[in-house]
Amino acid sequence: MAELNGTPVTSEALRALALLNYGHFTSMRVQDRRTRGFSHHLDRLSNDCRLLFDVSLDRERVREFVRHAVGGQRGAFVVRVTVFDPDLDLGHPVSTAEPSVLVTTRPAMPLPPSPIRVRTVGHRRDLPEVKHVGLMGSLWHRRQVQMRGYDDALFVDDASFISEGATWNIGFFDGERVVWPDAEMLPGITMRLLDQVHDNTTTAPVNIRDVPAMRAAFATNTTIGVRAISAVDGTNLADDHPVFETLRKEYEEIPPERL
């Protein structure tokens, strides 16, 4: 399913998105027309629209587009809201923008997902604080590590400090606290919600050399919830640590918001 500004989308309308790849989005796991952190998703869309297009985004208009696209669908599925300007000029992108709202849906994976093995790679996304549609670098690194037998890529800087995964945040458990890396990264909605409900959390720089001392590591985003990481490079980690069930329970107890 795909709708642009509340109507079925045409291939011509998607031309700018496909050829220019300039825009931003958010994705959310929807269960029976509810999702956790919906107001945070709207905040993200509003803030990123102001940054990329220098215009305000009508939050209620976006909400109506999402409701219309979801319709009477039941069960669990993923909704993606992409904001882009179909008339953006490659040679003159500074012209006044009129962003459109593309809403798409796809099936959601069963929860909890299986553990993953990740490999670190040196990479920093363009505008890491924005959930933009420029996924070339992230997907290229994901493909490279999967060709080497890993499940996904974990980004580090030149000094080997960890930031984020290809399309997810990473958290660690040091035996007492959940530790979120203090780095340039996208502040994920699921990460924010977990940080609010889990009592003992902190944000601190995490280097690759710190990983062997960690009791557990996990990936988070709206589609996977809390996903155990069983290995970072050559370091194996427990994929059945009790902290995973604690975090999942705390996350599931967050009241979902109506679309």
Kindly tell me if the per-residue pLDDT of 151 is higher than 90: yes
Kindly tell me if the per-residue pLDDT of 78 is higher than 80: yes
Query: Which of 107, 142, 177 finishes a domain?
Result: 107
**Which of these, 2, 141, 146, 137, lies nearest to 66 by C-alpha position?**
2
pLDDT digits (tens, 9 = 90+) for 108-131: 999 999 999 999 999 999 999 999
Kindly tell me if the per-residue pLDDT of 72 is higher than 90: no
Mean pLDDT of the region 63-71 = 95
Tell whether 214 is covered by a domain: yes
Kindly tell me if the per-residue pLDDT of 90 is higher than 90: no
76 and 19 in a common domain: yes
Task: Give Dmax over CA atoms of the chain in angstroms.
Answer: 54
Q: Which residues share a beta bridge with 203? A: 180
pLDDT digits (tens, 9 = 90+) for 199-208: 999 999 999 9
Is-contact 200 172, C-beta < 8 A?
no
Mean pLDDT of the region 7-23 = 90
Give the chain's mean pLDDT: 96
Give the percent of the chain with pLDDT over 70.
100
Tell whether 259 is covered by a domain: no
- The letter for the amino acid at 51 is L
- Cα 143 to Cα 106: distance, rounded to the nearest angstrom: 21
Q: Which domain holds residue 90?
A: 2-107
120 and 216 in a common domain: yes
- Cα 46 to Cα 115: distance, rounded to the nearest angstrom: 33
Specify the number of domains making up the chain.
Answer: 2
97 and 20 in a common domain: yes
83 and 133 in a common domain: no
Q: What is the pLDDT of residue 93?
A: 84
- Please name the residue that has the structure tokens 């958010």: 26
Q: Provide the CATH number for the domain around residue 60.
A: 3.30.470.10
**Which of these, 76, 85, 143, lies nearest to 111 by C-alpha position?**
76
Structure-derived torsion over alpha carbons of residues 138, 144, 149, 150, reported in degrees to the nearest 10 = -20
